[in-house]
């Protein structure tokens, strides 16, 4: 039985500017995005996935990521990251001043093909090139997002040995490189016990110096906060979440966004876990995010009368 003693602190990675904004079909004005990001930073967010360097034809909403990086890159104490699907994206990210590259590969073949249009092995080969590039560039870090680590919309439940295969190959290439690995519940269908099982088994097999673990979850089945907590109690030191629970997909009924940062924060505060984020200010940021045209939000705390939230 793993201890339920809360950790002293957890790092929250705010992903509304990437996973949230990308769910809105019509490109938002860059100034609107900047207003939301500024409010998130005012609330104390110190890790932010600010966007992605992907094909603007695939996701037009992300086309202004470079401009956003330019606006916020010199904020002291802010750890900015951006998602990339290939070497081209990593190079663009570095050229725009990003120092933490989030490389995405899905564990399931069919999801990887539908997301980045190539096989898992092709994505892993390109990861090797990204790693070489990062090794040549001082002060850079790698975050590996393993999509569909629990469930795939096409193939169903994903067992941990399949994650192990992809992770094992990635870690062999990344030897001695500081790395954060995020197990991603892309569909939000994982259960807390499955999350605990994957973290336990994969950490037993792969723990090494300089390797940190993270969880990226969606709240589609209402498990977002519980899954994040189980991940934290089984070794994750960072959790992705999106302010206001912004996300979902206008073409996929029932899909919802990432776990709402404010809901997760409330649970963590209950255990005295330090995140550096101020809840009332985060709720103010959530109001801005929720007012964006075309966005779908899903947050419990935003529905509670403000005077009851402290």
Closest to 47 measured CA to CA, from 17, 84, 6, 67: 17
Shortest distance in whole angstroms from residue 267 CB to ligand COA:
25
Query: Residue 152 catalytic?
Result: no
The distance of closest approach from Cβ of residue 208 to ligand COA in the complex, given in angstroms and rounded to an integer, is 26
Instruction: Kindly state the number of chain residues that form the binding site for ligand COA, as judged by CB under 6 A.
Output: 19
Q: Which of 36, 184, 243, 249 is catalytic?
A: 249
CB of 130 to Zn ion, least distance (A): 20
Give dist(CA 238, CA 85) in Å, integer: 21
| Element (DSSP H or E) covering residue 34 | helix 30-42
Which C-beta is closer to Zn ion: that of 14 or that of 19? 19
User: Contact between 133 and ligand COA (CB under 6 A)?
Assistant: no
Distance CA 290, CA 117 (A): 32
Q: Which residues lie below 8 Å from residue 168, measured CB to CB, with a gap of 6+?
A: 205, 206
Which C-beta is closer to ligand COA: that of 106 or that of 275? Answer: 106
Residue among 49 and 279 whose Cβ is closer to Zn ion: 49
User: Token pair of 107, please?
Assistant: 């564990």
Q: Give the β-pairing of 211-217 and 238-241.
A: parallel
d(CA 29, CA 108): 34
Q: Taking contact as CB under 6 A, which single stretch among the options 51-59, 128-136, 153-161, 226-234 is the one that binds ligand COA?
A: 51-59
Chain-centre distance for alpha carbon 260: 12
Exactly one of 104, 246, 265, 286 binds ligand COA (CB under 6 A); that residue is 104
Q: Residues 2-21 vs Zn ion: string with x where CB under 5 A?
A: -----------------x--
State both tokens at 10.
């957890």
| Tokens 């994040």 sit on residue | 228
Which does residue 115 touch among ligand COA, Zn ion, none (CB within 5 to 8 A, set by kind)? ligand COA
Catalytic residues: 249
- The footprint of ligand COA (CB under 6 A) covers 52-55, 57-59, 83-86, 88-89, 92, 104, 115-117, 147
């Amino acid at each position: 039985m793993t201890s339920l003693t809360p950790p002293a602190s957890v790092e929250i990675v705010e992903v509304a500017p990437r996973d949230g904004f990308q769910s809105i079909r019509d490109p938002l004005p860059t100034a609107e995005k900047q207003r939301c990001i500024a409010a998130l930073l005012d609330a104390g967010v110190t890790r932010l996935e600010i966007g992605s360097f992907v094909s603007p034809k695939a996701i037009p909403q992300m086309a202004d990521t470079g401009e956003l990086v330019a606006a916020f890159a010199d904020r002291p104490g802010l750890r900015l990251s951006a998602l990339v699907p290939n070497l081209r994206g990593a190079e663009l990210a570095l050229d725009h001043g990003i120092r933490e590259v989030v490389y995405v590969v899905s564990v399931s073949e069919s999801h990887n093909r539908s997301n980045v249009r190539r096989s898992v092995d092709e994505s892993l080969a390109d990861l090797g090139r990204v790693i070489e590039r990062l090794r040549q560039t001082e002060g850079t870090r790698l975050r590996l997002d393993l999509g569909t680590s629990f469930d795939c919309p096409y193939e169903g439940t994903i067992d941990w040995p399949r994650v192990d295969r992809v992770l094992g190959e990635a870690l062999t290439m990344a030897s001695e490189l500081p790395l954060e690995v995020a197990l991603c519940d892309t569909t939000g269908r994982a259960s807390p016990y499955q999350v605990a099982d994957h973290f336990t088994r994969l950490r037993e097999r792969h723990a090494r110096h300089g390797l940190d673990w993270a969880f990226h979850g969606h709240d589609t089945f209402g498990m977002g906060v519980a899954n994040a907590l189980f991940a934290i109690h089984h070794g994750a030191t960072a959790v992705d979440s999106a302010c206001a629970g912004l996300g979902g997909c206008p073409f996929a009924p029932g899909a919802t966004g990432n776990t709402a940062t404010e809901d997760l924060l409330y649970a963590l505060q209950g255990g005295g876990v330090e995140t550096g984020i101020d809840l009332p200010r985060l709720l103010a940021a959530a109001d801005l995010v929720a007012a964006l045209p075309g966005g779908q939000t899903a947050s419990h705390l935003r529905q509670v009368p403000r005077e009851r939230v402290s």
